[in-house]
Amino acid sequence: MTPTKHFNHLVPKPIVWTIAGSDSGGGAGIQADLATINDLGGHGCSVITTLTAQSSVAVDLVEPVSEAMLLTQLSTLLADLPPQAIKIGLLADQQQLQLLADWLANFKTHYPHVPVILDPVMVASCGDELGNRSTPLDFSRFKGLISLITPNVKELARLTSFTDAQTIPSKMTKADFAAAAIQLAEQLGCSVLAKGGDNRFDPHLAEDLLVCHDVAGCSELDSHGHFWLVSDRIDTVHNHGSGCTLSSAIASVLAFGFVLHDAIVVAKAYVNQGLTHARGLGHGPGPLARTTWPHSLLQYPKIVAVCADKQPQPYAFKRLTTDLGVYPVVNNLLLLEQLLAAGVKTIQLRVKSDAGITAAELEAQIQTAIALGKHYDAQLFINDHWQLAIKHGAFGVHLGQEDLAMADLNAIHGAGLALGISSHSYFELLRAHQHAPSYIALGHIFPTTTKQMPSAPQGLFKLAHYVELLKAYYPLVAIGGIGPSNLDQVNATGVRNIAVVRAITEADDPIAALAELTRAWEQGR
């Protein structure tokens, strides 16, 4: 595995709670959760619901803690160590579930933004039931209190109208599985990550389905999206605790302020790492290996939108041979020409469709900009207007994630244009990567007034993680609120290029501002 990079000095250590059962064998439950939270840089607190006498081959005894013990663990922790995220695992019985749901309802009135992830644990990996389940638990008490539920195929069947848990999962088609996940999202009013690991729709793949329910902090496109998250199947029997690990990893990444989609893909990569390096302990399925924050792209899932009418094309866009360095983004020809004349070698013309000019004026501007780019031997990217960029032979186009859905990437590639793609999260980075663009932009890093953004500023901690994931594959460009006051901090994340609007357009002397930014940027590298 590649050496770990820690960026934890950039943010405070978040507190993550696990409310779950103890696995005396150490591979699952509270023990797996605390190890996971620690690996990912959080501080784990535990609320034990149940003691299990468990090994890798059997569950011999399951005993719930008393009501007083459950409630006192919660109140003691809350008074001193309030959580940034909560994971709920094994609950002993309906009474305990009800008690916790009541406590959570009150907690949520004071901490409405703390995400709660529910792993509806029912069966241990050795196959034994975890609790007295003559009747399945009724999780509807958690409606409105949880952000995400993470059932495996058997749990999904039990929780929905696919009720015959023993027989139906093996017969479930991919379409049944998707229908059940969508039904569960409706039932509980939360997002669902349905784990397909046990269901071999394709024997070489592990395919999970993410059904998003009103997810905050991402684009409209994604907040209600349905996505298959696809990884190569890792051939190991040592998967004891993988469900616990996944849900506590999701809670940990959320606690750092990442959006739900990101928490899920990072957690899946962390589980994949753990499965890849797992060694057996005991005589049954051994625990996952304990690793670190996943920085290898190979461990991350592929994202396949369920309703996508087109799949990523199987080719790569033009490779850029030099760094972009300080990459100005401008909206007028006068400044464009001044910057080109001053020696800028990569630049973007960003004239939005609502800029108050006619279609003919827009085309004329783009045509002139492209001619200027050629005259000064520069790499000129046209923002959004990919048809005009092709028509007039631009060097490249820049597209956002929403633009990608509308654009004809075959035509852009066929015309030999370079392609830059925007991203605002791990999830969007992975999706951009599937198009193999010429560069990927990461934004917005700091608050900006240039554009209204649906996502929050990413900040330096997230930027450093994105760079670590993709720096070996693409030129990466940080954008959003970047200027002289924060240039050194941005540089320290390892990103090699920055795109700037106001730092140049609002400067008294844009040419001098660009020269000074470029000098400072190159000196910091």
Ligand X SMILES: Cc1ncc(COP(=O)(O)OP(=O)(O)O)c(N)n1
Ligand Y SMILES: Cc1ncsc1CCOP(=O)(O)O
**Omega prior to 213 cis, within 30 of 0:** no
**Closer to ligand X at the Cβ: 403 or 516?**
403
Residues 448-467 touching ligand X, rule: CB under 6 A, are 451
Tell me if 422 is assigned to a ligand binding site.
yes
Asked if residue 339 lies in contact with residue 347, where contact means CB atoms within 8 angstroms, the answer is yes
> What is the rounded CA–CA span in Å between residue 445 and residue 479?
6
Is 451 known to sit in a ligand binding site?
yes
Q: How far is the CB of 383 from ligand Y (least distance, A)?
A: 8
What is the amino acid identity at position 113? Answer: H
Instruction: Decide: is 323 part of the binding site for ligand X (CB under 6 A).
Output: no
Neighbours of 375 (CB within 10 A): 11
Smallest distance from the beta carbon of 327 to Mg ion, in angstroms? 15
Q: Give the angle subtended at the CA of 176 by the CAs of 173 and 179, to the nearest 5°.
A: 150
Candidate list 84, 152, 272, 422; residue touching ligand X; CB under 6 A:
422
Cβ at position 220, least distance to Mg ion in Å: 14
- For the bound state, the minimum distance from the C-beta of residue 349 to ligand Y, rounded and expressed in Å, comes to 12
Report in angstroms how near the CB of residue 451 gets to ligand Y at its nearest: 4
Report, in Å, the least distance between residue 352 CB and ligand X. 6
128 labeled binding residue: no
Is 417 a binding residue for ligand X by CB under 6 A? The answer is no
Smallest CA-to-CA distance from 121 within 79, 80, 154, 163 is with 154
521 CB-near residues (< 8 Å, 6+ apart) = 325, 326, 487, 491, 498
Long-range contact list for 272-275, CB < 8 A, 24+ apart?
272/231, 272/234, 272/299, 272/300, 273/1, 273/299, 274/242, 274/245, 275/234, 275/236, 275/238, 275/239, 275/242
- Would you count residue 348 as binding ligand X (CB under 6 A)? yes
Footprint of Mg ion on 371-390 (CB under 5 A): 384
Residue (32 or 441) nearer to ligand Y, CB = 441
State yes or no: residue 62 binds ligand X (CB under 6 A): no
- H/E element holding 359? helix 359-375
Residues near ligand Y, by CB under 6 A:
443-444, 448, 450-451, 479-482, 500-503
Footprint of Mg ion on this chain (CB under 5 A)? 384, 400, 403
Footprint of ligand X on this chain (CB under 6 A)? 329, 348, 350, 383-384, 398-400, 403, 420, 422, 441, 443, 451, 477, 479, 499
Binding-site entries: 348-352, 383-384, 403, 422, 448-451, 481
Binding-site entries for Mg(2+): 384, 403
